[in-house]
Structure 1
Amino acid sequence: MFGPQVPTVTVPEIADDTYLLDVREDDEWAAGHAPGAHHLPMMELPSRLAEVPTDRDVAVICRSGGRSAQVVAYLVRNGWEQVRNVEGGMGEWAAAGRPVVGGDGQPGRVL
C-alpha cells in the first residue's frame, strides 16, 4: 500500500528518550496527545523539515498509523535513518495505558 515497507515500532518499544512526532491535525492534538510529543501537522512537514531531528530516534504517530506511515516514508526518502512509524497510532498508545493529555493539560482523549 505504501510501496516499500516502512519501518515500524510498537508502543511498548518506544524509549523515553525517543522524539515522538505527532502529525495529526490541530483539533486532534488539542483533544489528546502523548505528553512530551512534538506537534507537526502532516501538511506542514515539507516546510518544517528542519524541526525533525536527524541525530536521535524519531517515532511518528497519528490516529491509527496511516498518515504517520506516509510521513515516515517521506522522511526516509529525504535521508532520515532513525525514524519509525508507531504501529496502531494514538489508539494503540491509549489502549496500552500510556498517558494522553489535552491541550489544557487535563486528561485527554483520542479523536
Structure 2
Amino acid sequence: MSSTFISMRAIKSLLCSVPGVSDVRRQHRSDDRIAFQFNGAMCTVHEMFGDNSRYWISSNNVNENAVDMAPIHDVFAALSSWCIFLEWLAWVAAALAIFFLVWSWV
C-alpha cells in the first residue's frame, strides 16, 4: 500500500479496527514499523529500506499455514480509494495554482 497520505498512527488505528487483530505495537528501530498479532499469527507492517513510499503487511512466519489477510486488505483497500481522490485533488490544486500564477503575470 502507498504511504503517501497515511501516517503510522493512522495505520495503527486501522489495524486496531480489524476483527482478529491484537497486540499492536509500534517499532522504532527497524524497518518493521508495526508488529501485531492477527488471528494468532505474528505479522508486521514493513517499510522496505526504511524510507519508501510503500508498506508491506504480512505474516512473519512463512512456515505457518497461510494466513487469510483479506480483512486487513479490505480495510486498506477502502482507504485507498480516498487516497487516490486526495492525490488527484492535490494535482488539481497544484495545476490551478500554476495557472493563476501565470495568469497574474499577464
Structure having the higher Rg:
2
Q: Which protein is richer in strand relative to its size? A: 2
Which TM-score applies when normalising by structure 1?
Answer: 0.26
Q: Which protein is richer in helix relative to its size? A: 2
